Amino acid sequence: MTTFASIPVKKTSQSRLSDIDFTKLEFGKYIADHMLVADYKNGQWHAPEIVPYGDLKMSPAILSLHYGQAVFEGMKAYKMKDGNVSIFRIHKHHERLNKSLARMCMPEVPHDLFVQGLTTLIETDHDWVPRTEGSSLYIRPLVFASEARLGVKVSDEYKFIIMTSPVGPYYSKPLRVKVEEHYVRAAEGGTGFAKCAGNYGGAFLPTQQAREQGFDQVLWTDAKEHHYIDEAGTMNVMFVLDGKLITPKLTSAILDGITRDSIITLSHDLGLPMEERRVSISDLAEGFNNGKLTEAFGAGTAAVVAPIATINIHGKDYQLPQAGATSFQQQVKQKLHNIRIGAEADEHQWNHIVQIV
């Protein structure tokens, strides 16, 4: 079996780092100097290397472009107080990547290739990790079918790439979201739990329409009845209802969010009772009417903790109170930040530390 204990690095002769204005980071606008590239052929992954970030020469017949075998992850790395870099929950992201790949009939990425490849990439581009609070280096692992062939088939060849991008906060203000009751993001038994490209492409039209109506995002409901909340566009969703943290219980239609999982763990540490269960539109409307729904927020790698200010249910706007410093969402956001930068003990062993020499 091939092992990937060390990954060769070809460094760029022309770093773009000095062109970047770290005070004006937009999500995904800048891509760091290097990327990891590995190829899958003849049943195994070959020759991973770190190379200068740049275009790939590919046939327009590659299967991913036609039949959608493309899976990605979203992760983050943080500059720590001691100057090292922490990669948040690397093993959990690797596990989820492989679950998504299995659903899309794609080969797993070995653990040592993922961890060693990403560690070497971050060592190489550590100067791209932003230092200001609220900023981080977003990490985008991607696997796609690269066999050039028009027949409808499972590809025999793939590329695994990891690229990174310095980012600031994903949303700049509390969100106005609309409960979506016409379109569907995912149905049970489909690919909703997988981080495959098509899930995002299929969400564009409803999200675009919601934006035209003055919303920032949609709250997806279940495919059968449009009655239960699944997740929010690009993130999971959580509520504080009747003094408890509530989040929709995972189904095959909901992404198993790693920020979601981390917040559930931290809610126990912070002493807030929590429940994973079905959350209906009526639960929300009732919570607004009796004043027991006190917080709503999105949770995701890119978004981290994104306050929701307004939820539109059946065409009516319901307003949430502003989330102050003592709100659960602000406390948990701060705790996550402290753990990631090493200001608080990493009791759950979530940080993968990259030593910067």
Q: Is 141 in the site for ligand COI (CB under 6 A)?
A: no
The closest of 278, 204, 287, 222 to 248, measured between CA atoms, is 278
Smallest distance, Å, CB 234 to ligand COI?
4
Nearer to ligand COI, 62 or 203 (CB): 203
Candidates 55-63, 117-125, 295-303, 312-320 — which segment interacts with ligand COI by CB under 6 A? Answer: 295-303
The closest of 249, 231, 154, 218 to 192, measured between CA atoms, is 231
Candidates 40-48, 49-57, 298-306, 338-346 — which segment interacts with ligand COI by CB under 6 A? Answer: 298-306
The closest of 315, 311, 264 to 284, measured between CA atoms, is 311
Candidates 77-85, 103-111, 184-192, 300-308 — which segment interacts with ligand COI by CB under 6 A? Answer: 300-308
SS3 4: coil
Q: Is 146 in the site for ligand COI (CB under 6 A)?
A: no
Rounded alpha-carbon distances, angstroms, from residue 61 to 37, 158, 229, 305: 20, 13, 38, 40
**Interacting residue with ligand COI among 229, 302, 305, 332 (CB under 6 A):** 302
Q: Which residue is nearest to ligand COI (CB)?
A: 74
Nearer to ligand COI, 74 or 130 (CB): 74
Smallest distance, Å, CB 5 to ligand COI?
28
Q: Is 301 in the site for ligand COI (CB under 6 A)?
A: yes
Q: Is 74 in the site for ligand COI (CB under 6 A)?
A: yes
**Helical spans, DSSP H, in 16-109:** 63-67, 90-103
Rounded alpha-carbon distances, angstroms, from residue 52 to 12, 59, 159, 229, 310: 5, 21, 16, 42, 44
Please answer whether residues 130 and 22 qualify as being in contact, where contact means their C-beta atoms are separated by less than 8 angstroms: yes
Inter-helix orientation angle 258-269/90-103, to 10°: 140
Residue type, 298: G
Structure tokens belonging to residue 195:
């981080």
Nearer to ligand COI, 164 or 234 (CB): 234
Rounded alpha-carbon distances, angstroms, from residue 89 to 167, 212, 272: 18, 36, 23
Q: Is 298 in the site for ligand COI (CB under 6 A)?
A: no
The rounded distance, in Å, linking the Cα atoms of 67 and 109 is 20
Name 167's bridge partners: 136
Binding mask of the shown chain, residues 212 to 251, with x at each position contacting ligand COI by CB under 6 A: ----------------------x-----------------
**Interacting residue with ligand COI among 48, 300, 307, 342 (CB under 6 A):** 300
Nearer to ligand COI, 300 or 307 (CB): 300
Binding site for ligand COI (CB under 6 A): 74, 200, 234, 300-302
